[in-house]
Amino acid sequence: MQASQPEPLALDEPLILPLAPEAVACGFPSPAEGYWSGDLDLIKHMVRDPASTFVWKAAGHSMTGAGINDGDLLLVDRGIDPIPGKIVIAVVDGEYTVKRLDVIQGRTVLLAENLDYADIVLHEYTEMTVWGVVTWILSSPKIRRGVRPRR
């Protein structure tokens, strides 16, 4: 997707939120011992370097298997090394895309995380640069009623 480059995050003040006293169980519930455990600066927790961190909005469905859905916000850090296995924003022949970076049989491959979409195998004449590495996926929970996970 052709797009202009975003501006770095402008973080003038910390974003302080109350931190719950313990992790919440995803399995069998456990009783909470308290209601407040201190404060958490969300910016310090999520942003390594504000000058190299950007927010991109995801468009499309090729990365749903990685938890990236259409409309999600991606925190992208340009100062992190793009090693195989990381999700990256790449520029391929002048077009932006978000994919998982890998090297297969000596060739750089940008992997789609949805089987309905093809991977991008880079050939010798393909022009590709990694713009940045996705560090966080920000999405709101989807509303689902009467649907249980498959067993």
List 99, 139, 140, 142, catalytic entry: 99
Residue 62: active-site member: yes
Instruction: Name the phi and psi angles at 66, rounded to 5.
Output: -95, 5
Report the C-alpha gap between 42 and 16 in whole angstroms: 6
Active site residue 4: no
User: Which residues touch 28 (CB under 8 Å, ≥6 apart)?
Assistant: none
Task: Give residue for tokens 């499309």.
Answer: 60
Give which of 101, 94, 93 is closest to 132, Cα–Cα: 101
Which residue out of 4, 30, 44, 62 is catalytically annotated? 62
Active site residues: 62, 99
